[in-house]
Amino acid sequence: MEKLAGWIKNANYTVVMTGAGMSTESGLPDFRSNKGIWKDRDPIALASTEALQNNRKAFFSFYQSRIKALEEVKPNNGHYALADWEHRGLLQSLITQNVDGLHSKAGSKNMAELHGSIAALRCHNCGYKLSSEAYLENKTTCPECGGFFRPNVVLFGEMLPEKAILFAEQETAKADLFIVLGSSLSVAPASAFPAEAKENGAKLVIINKTTTELDDHADLVIQEHSISEALEETNKFL
């Protein structure tokens, strides 16, 4: 952690990318583990463009339950540490694969949410937005055009938002220190960003409970500590 702190202090441009492991420490399930969201569930039947068009009752019920569950979830110390680093000028930007909005709740500002945010709904027809709390009030109809409200997240069958991808690509190109937190680096295109940063000459740090395909190329790999523990320990040297 002392080594990592030294790299952070000496870096000109630090970028962090977070995955599901960042949120599991707040009590949220991941997606594909034995206890994950998709255990015994078909994501295509619940969270796809097909479900949005043809099975709206199941689609709405699934996302209503997710939004309700998120009401009880708070950012963990790792989320707050990253927001603090940004505030102190130690972290320049954040790329996240998570849709739970916990980074925003913790105070992070300069970031790309690659898969959108479940904190908001948008009309599938006209794009009108409102808070996801409307789902908890069983509101699904847009007051502007009568269209259907859906979570502002990327569904199975949809492309990632161009603006978020462009932001991530530009930030990756600037990084001389790239830190991965809680991602198995198995889902494209997010998995490409740390590899690109490393190819551009950045130091690569991976903090994850399990091995990743980039471990052998990383300058520092930490598996024995949770993300929160690792960041809190690093903070002692900053």
Which tens digit of pLDDT belongs to each residue from 138-191? 999 999 999 999 999 999 999 999 999 999 999 999 999 999 999 999 888 888
The alpha carbon of residue 56 and the mean position of all alpha carbons in its chain are separated, in whole angstroms, by 25
Strands 111-113 and 129-131: unpaired
How far apart are alpha carbons 214 and 123 in whole angstroms?
A: 39
What is the percent of the chain with per-residue pLDDT over 70, rounded to a whole number? 97
Read off the pLDDT of each residue in 25-48 and give the average, rounded to a whole number: 78
Per-residue model confidence as pLDDT tens digits over 65-94: 999 999 889 999 999 999 999 999 999 999
What 3-state class would DSSP assign to 76?
Answer: coil
- Catalytic residue (choose from 115, 124, 217, 225): 115
Peptide bond into 189 cis (omega under 30): yes
SS3 content of the chain, % helix, strand, coil (to 5): 40, 20, 40
How far apart are alpha carbons 52 and 204 in whole angstroms?
A: 39
- Output the CA torsion sign for 33, 193, 213, 182: negative
**Per-residue pLDDT at 232 exceeds 80:** yes
Catalytic status, residue 103: no
